[in-house]
Amino acid sequence: MLDVAFVSADLPRAGTLVLPLAEGAALSGLAAAADEATGGAIARALAAAEFKGAKGKTCVVLAPGAGLARVVAVGLGKVAEATPRHLEEAGGAVAAAVARDTEVAVAADGLDAAQAARLAAGAALRSYRFDKYRTKEKPEDKPRLTRLAVLARDPAAAAAQFAPLGKIADGVFLTRDLVSEPANVLNPAEFAERCRALSALGVDVEVMGPDALRELGFGALLGVAQGSANEPRMVVMRWNGGPDGARPVAFIGKGVTFDTGGISIKGAAGMEDMKWDMAGAGTVTGLMAALAGRGAKVNAVGLVGLVENMPSGTAQRPGDVVTSYSGQTIEVINTDAEGRLVLADVLWYCQKTFDPVFMVDLATLTGAIIIALGHEYSGMFSNNDELSARLAAAGVAVEEKVWRMPLGKAYDEQIKSPIADMKNVGGRPGGSITAAQFLQRFVNDKPWAHLDIAGMAWSSKDAACTPKGATGFGVRLLDRLVAEHYENAAGGQ
């Protein structure tokens, strides 16, 4: 991760100086000092570029004098609109603008400690890169920003504000790493090993293999797994930061490390994207790292169901009937609707074992949710208005938005089966909704929300705080949900 240091607000005499500027405001503090030291070169350049401080805009001034290699002005927009998220986005714009620089200082003397921390967090989030398999990239083509010095009015206060944000960014990066990793490397066993590493943060990690899952009776999950030479796992991660005995909040993730579709095989075009069909599980894992890393005062459990969906001589067939852990039977009409089969057993296990305050599951569950909502909102399905409202508000605050979709009896009827308790697909109409109806049959009336993140886990273009590729969507959203509503002296309620 980008090394962020908060230091006292002295004018640097070398390297790159970043000036965050509010819209329409005159240069002041360090910005004014830098302008004076360069004989007014900065103000002249900004005027010539008609830079006025509009949100997210940047203006680069080369070799302005006073020893500085570059000055990068970044617009904060109107001060009144400078929400924490806007400051993060400005930080993201800074990171993008100075990615090729080595020595960078940000003049944050005009910001308070919380604002300076947000700016730094945005820069850190944007500077993520998954380049472990790029062996031939020339050094001059690599980003060079490794350390960001934030020149702050009160460096200790800003550093204290940044500490939890840095831990959350660590969690986001873990999710992005997992989601980016190819499926020949990240199979269920390897994913479970990466979860085990969370024990260093104080997370209690339990890994169950095929024998334990058979013993429990996870017939739905095992049916998906049976076509693959890579054996399944379920991982239970527990963070006990709340009062002893307080009921936990629970997060459940779909972890299909590769989804070929199975016997109902997918087309070849774009199938490589199905390496990130474990993004729900990746988010749960990154979230647990974030909660533990920042020492969240909550009891939380994270459960991930890890399988590979392959066609083979041992794969399950369309028409097979499996018995889920709940005892309910399922006719598997389409082996490509595998995520709901995995989640069915993990959800049932979660509610039964932990009696959680709520369950939120995350899954790249349906292509249909991308048709409905594009890449702007995650679909949200829930049996609980309070939980839905809290998630929606958290989404707006952190810019990881969710849109509530309907559930209802008529949709549920689409998954009736003539031979079993239900079938695993309900036809094309409302495909994301019938998938959610299927899941609801395994939540046993616990407060629950299902986030279909198929459109959000991966991005084909850069965003303010998210380079293209794995986004880490959901970590900041759920961390925020917990921080706002479930972390208090009394613990969960």
Residue 277 found at the interface with Zn ion (CB under 5 A):
yes
Considering only 88, 109, 177, 336, the residue that binds Mn ion (CB under 5 A) is 336
Q: Residue 333: what are its φ and ψ, rounded to 5°?
A: -75, -40
Q: Name residue, tokens 């062996």.
A: 135
Residue 425 found at the interface with ligand BES (CB under 6 A):
yes
Residue 308 found at the interface with Mn ion (CB under 5 A):
no
Residue 331 found at the interface with ligand BES (CB under 6 A):
no
Rounded to 5°, angle at Cα 11 from 5 and 12: 65
Residue 190 found at the interface with ligand BES (CB under 6 A):
no
Give how many residues touch Zn ion by CB under 5 A: 4
Identity of the amino acid at 373: L
* Distance in angstroms (rounded) separating the CA atoms of residues 331 and 323: 9
Q: Which residue is nearest to Zn ion (CB)?
A: 259
294 a catalytic residue: no
* Distance in angstroms (rounded) separating the CA atoms of residues 90 and 87: 5
Buried b vs exposed e over 86-95: b needs ≥16 C-beta within 10 Å?
bbbbbbbbbb
Task: Give Cα separations from 138 to 11, 236, 245, 472 (angstroms).
Answer: 33, 41, 54, 27
Residue 259 found at the interface with ligand BES (CB under 6 A):
yes
Considering only 166, 241, 261, 339, the residue that binds Zn ion (CB under 5 A) is 339
Residue 452 found at the interface with Mn ion (CB under 5 A):
no
Residue among 340, 423, 441, 476 flagged as catalytic: 340
Considering only 88, 190, 338, 361, the residue that binds ligand BES (CB under 6 A) is 338
Residue 368 found at the interface with ligand BES (CB under 6 A):
yes
Distance between alpha carbon 115 and the CA centroid of its chain, in Å?
Answer: 22
Minimum Å gap between C-beta 303 and Mn ion is 20
Fill in the per-residue mask, 75 to 104: x = in contact with ligand BES (CB under 6 A), - = not in contact. ------------------------------
Beta-ladder partners of 103: 147
Residue 308 found at the interface with ligand BES (CB under 6 A):
no
Considering only 127, 285, 366, 466, the residue that binds ligand BES (CB under 6 A) is 366
149 or 337: whose CB is closer to ligand BES? Answer: 337
Secondary structure (3-state) at 323: strand
Q: CB under 5 A: which stretch of 17-25, 274-282, 287-295, 469-477 binds Zn ion? A: 274-282
Q: CB under 6 A: which stretch of 30-38, 330-338, 346-354, 381-389 binds ligand BES? A: 330-338
β-strands 320-323, 329-332: how paired? antiparallel
Residue 361 found at the interface with Zn ion (CB under 5 A):
no
Residue 231 found at the interface with Zn ion (CB under 5 A):
no
151 or 224: whose CB is closer to Zn ion? Answer: 224
Residue 379 found at the interface with ligand BES (CB under 6 A):
no
Considering only 12, 122, 171, 339, the residue that binds ligand BES (CB under 6 A) is 339
β-strands 378-382, 233-240: how paired? unpaired
Residue among 52, 247, 266, 297 flagged as catalytic: 266
Residue 308 found at the interface with Zn ion (CB under 5 A):
no
129 a catalytic residue: no
CA atoms within 13 A on the CB side of 402: 30
Residue 328 found at the interface with ligand BES (CB under 6 A):
no
269 or 489: whose CB is closer to ligand BES? Answer: 269
Beta-ladder partners of 303: 236, 252
Q: Residue 329: what are its φ and ψ, rounded to 5°?
A: -95, 150
Buried b vs exposed e over 273-282: b needs ≥16 C-beta within 10 Å?
ebbbbbbbbb
Residue 259 found at the interface with Mn ion (CB under 5 A):
yes
Residue 259 found at the interface with Zn ion (CB under 5 A):
yes
Residue 337 found at the interface with ligand BES (CB under 6 A):
yes
Identity of the amino acid at 443: V
Those residues with Cβ within 8 angstroms of residue 107's Cβ, 6 or more apart along the chain or in another chain: 9, 17, 18, 19, 20, 29, 30, 31, 34, 151
308 or 338: whose CB is closer to Mn ion? Answer: 338
Length of the chain: 493
277 or 400: whose CB is closer to Zn ion? Answer: 277
Q: At what angle do helices 84-97 and 385-398 cross, to 10 degrees?
A: 40
Would you name the residues annotated as active-site residues? 266, 340
What are the residues binding Zn ion (CB under 5 A)? 256, 259, 277, 339
What are the residues binding Mn ion (CB under 5 A)? 259, 336, 338
